[in-house]
Amino acid sequence: MISKILVPTDGSKAAQKAAKYAVDLAKQLKAQVFVLSVIDKRSSISQTIPASDTARHILEPIEDYLREAAESYTEEIEKLCAKNDIRSKIVITTGHPVEEIMKEAEKLKVSLIVMGSHGRSALAATVLGSVTYGVIHKDTKIPVMVVKS
Amino acid sequence: MISKILVPTDGSKAAQKAAKYAVDLAKQLKAQVFVLSVIDKRSSISQTIPASDTARHILEPIEDYLREAAESYTEEIEKLCAKNDIRSKIVITTGHPVEEIMKEAEKLKVSLIVMGSHGRSALAATVLGSVTYGVIHKDTKIPVMVVKS
């Protein structure tokens, strides 16, 4: 029985589309939805500013901005769940997306992960975004549903 | 609404496990199951005997054998469906697995494809078997659920 679905999203159009698909599926399955956003500090900060040179007064506003954005796009999915009488919970963490997705999946004991074929960082030409690829690759028994973008 | 699920299987342990998972899912979704086996003549025959040299009296018994095997492992899934009051249909075709899976998916208008991360021909070390990889890669909007083996 699928009773808990983990829906990682980075707020990209493709990821939100997959999240909305997951909500439809949850409705049909009468399952609970966990909307996960992983704030990937590496991608946003370390690529532009070397970590050692990064002053706290630069880092903190960026993190705040990323967190606010994450709250906004996860709430969009949460509202959709509420509208459809689906129990949902937002989880926002910080770290490496693949590692965090797997950590939360295990912790929350979800029975399915639904995600888009591509997220924000993926090249359109690749078959799978690196995060989706990473999650499928992980040594876990949790099935992964790939929603095409 | 997911009302039709396509379940390609090559009879391997991993594929049958994925098919059984699909049956559980179909039960929960009250969906119909299409159990598909693609007889991949290339892999079984052309690797050992060049096509031009292959006499009809050699080819036909191999095809018969493959078809009998396909009937047996698809019927196993069909029986499981019947036991769970799920409508199901067996489809056996011949050709290139990825192409045939996509062709049947479009023809049957399925809303989901459920398959194992690896099939018979895959190296255990690869992330995805070539057929699963091929199906995810295809330019289709049908979501693909990957069941880990």
Per-residue pLDDT of chain B (149 residues; tens, 9 = 90+): 899 999 999 999 989 999 999 999 999 999 999 999 999 876 555 555 555 666 667 667 888 888 999 999 999 999 999 999 999 999 999 999 999 999 999 999 999 999 998 777 655 556 678 888 889 888 778 999 999 87
- Report in angstroms the alpha-carbon separations of B102 from A9, A129, B3: 27, 21, 17
Integer Cα distance of A35 and A23 in angstroms: 10
pLDDT (0 to 100) of residue A148: 87
pLDDT (0 to 100) of residue B86: 97
Report the gap between the CA of A94 and the closest CA in chain B (Å).
Answer: 26
Which residues are CB-contacts of B64 (< 8 A; sequence separation ≥ 6)?
A: none
pTM for the model stands at: 0.86
pLDDT (0 to 100) of residue A30: 95
- State the amino acid at position A138 in one-letter form: K
- Report in angstroms the alpha-carbon separations of B119 from A1, A66, A126, B28, B116: 24, 40, 23, 25, 7
Q: What is the largest CA-CA distance in chain B?
A: 50
A51 interfacial to chain B (CB closer than 8 Å): no
pLDDT (0 to 100) of residue B125: 56
Which 62-121 residues of chain B touch chain A by CB within 8 A?
A: 112, 117
Nearest CB neighbour to B144, from listed A24, A28, A146: A146
Residue that has been written with the tokens 């074929």 in this structure: A117
Integer Cα distance of B102 and B84 in angstroms: 27
Report the gap between the CA of B75 and the closest CA in chain A (Å).
Answer: 23
Q: State the Rg of chain A over Cα.
A: 15
Q: What ipTM describes this predicted complex?
A: 0.83
B132 interfacial to chain A (CB closer than 8 Å): no
Contact A146 B148 (CB under 8 A): no
Integer Cα distance of B23 and B87 in angstroms: 10
A27 interfacial to chain B (CB closer than 8 Å): no
A25 interfacial to chain B (CB closer than 8 Å): yes
Contact B136 A144 (CB under 8 A): no
Report the gap between the CA of B84 and the closest CA in chain A (Å).
Answer: 14
Residue of A nearest to B135 (CA): A127
Q: Is A6 exposed, middle or buried (0-12, 13-18, 19+ CB in 10 A)?
A: buried
Integer Cα distance of B131 and B101 in angstroms: 9
B25 interfacial to chain A (CB closer than 8 Å): yes
* Exposure class string for B102-137: b at 16+ Cβ within 10 A, else e: bebbeebebbbbbbbbbbbebeeeebbbebbbbbbe
A126 interfacial to chain B (CB closer than 8 Å): no
Integer Cα distance of B35 and B128 in angstroms: 20
DSSP codes, chain A? ---EEEEE--S-HHHHHHHHHHHHHHHHHT-EEEEEEEE-HIIIIITTS-GGG--HHHHHHHHHHHHHHHHHHHHHHHHHHHHTT--EEEEEEES-HHHHHHHHHHHHT-SEEEEES--SS--TTSSS-HHHHHHHHSS----EEEEP-
Query: Which of A136, A137, A138, A141 best tests the B interface by mutation, with the highest count of B CBs <10 A?
Result: A136
Integer Cα distance of B144 and B49 in angstroms: 34
Contact A1 B24 (CB under 8 A): yes
Query: Which of A23, A32, A110, A127 best tests the B interface by mutation, with the highest count of B CBs <10 A?
Result: A127
More confident residue, A1 or A76: A76
Report the gap between the CA of A60 and the closest CA in chain B (Å).
Answer: 37
